[in-house]
Amino acid sequence: MITTLALLLLAGCTEPSTTQGTTPWTATNETLGLTTTTTSPICVWTYTALDGSADTGLGVTVDEQLATIQDTVKTTLKWDQSGETTALSTALTVSEVDWVTGVLVDPDSGEPLGSDTGSDTGSDTGASEDCPPYLAMVGSLSLFTEDGRLAENVPVEALSSVAGTARVDASLDLSELVGGDLHLDIDPAEWDRVTIDIAVNISQGVSGGELAVLAERAFTPASDTSTTGSPTTTSSSYENDIARWPWKS
């Protein structure tokens, strides 16, 4: 399965902008009709736009950072189900760069949670090790395979906390896939939503990544034991790896 990379985030500083929010995190799956809200402390993020000559907070300028992550990378991809391999070209193109800083706040009051609250992390402004700064790069990721199964150009936000590196996590609806048949081991018609999850790590011009399929559906069990008089809706999901790179036989 695709796992989230634990970013080693570095400290940095810059002039803040006003792009931020203070509402509790809410995840809504419109297809399944399920909503989850948490009232745990949250990070409020501030985005500061950077131009090419600006320092990124990672010890390099924007231009220097992009020079190491925007090259086209050619490698070999292996399809997990069939074991077949094919040539893969990937390229990250960046159109917007922001330095992002965070403040840990109470979701109910919106007040910063800093050292004045008794916390041993952060300062009295709410700056916290729980909300370390990072570089956000908006653009697109292209994925093209020689066998024609992938011919994608996906809008993405790449994140970085170390100079010369970037992490991309993106999701593409199966219906939006431009390439050919991925030979999935499920029938998409039996699911409410099927997406292709993309995870890519770029480091000093080297690209590594994985593709996985995620299928979700909502249903009412045949033996509904709800005592409220209304049907109980539940959900199920399926996830499996599709491909990975670089592959060396």
Provide DSSP, 173-225.
Answer: EGGG--S-----SS-GGGSSEEEEEEEEEEETTEEEEEEEEEEEEEE--TT--
Residues 3-56: tens digit of each pLDDT: 333 333 333 333 333 334 433 333 334 444 444 455 688 999 999 999 999 999
Q: How many helices (H) and strands (E) does the chain have?
A: 1, 11
d(CA 50, CA 175): 35
What are the pLDDT digits (tens) for 167-198?
999 999 999 999 988 989 999 999 999 999 99
Q: What is the pTM of this model?
A: 0.73
pLDDT of 52-88, one tens digit each?
999 999 999 999 999 999 989 999 999 999 999 999 9
CA 9-11-15 angle, to 5 degrees, is: 125
3-class SS at 63?
helix
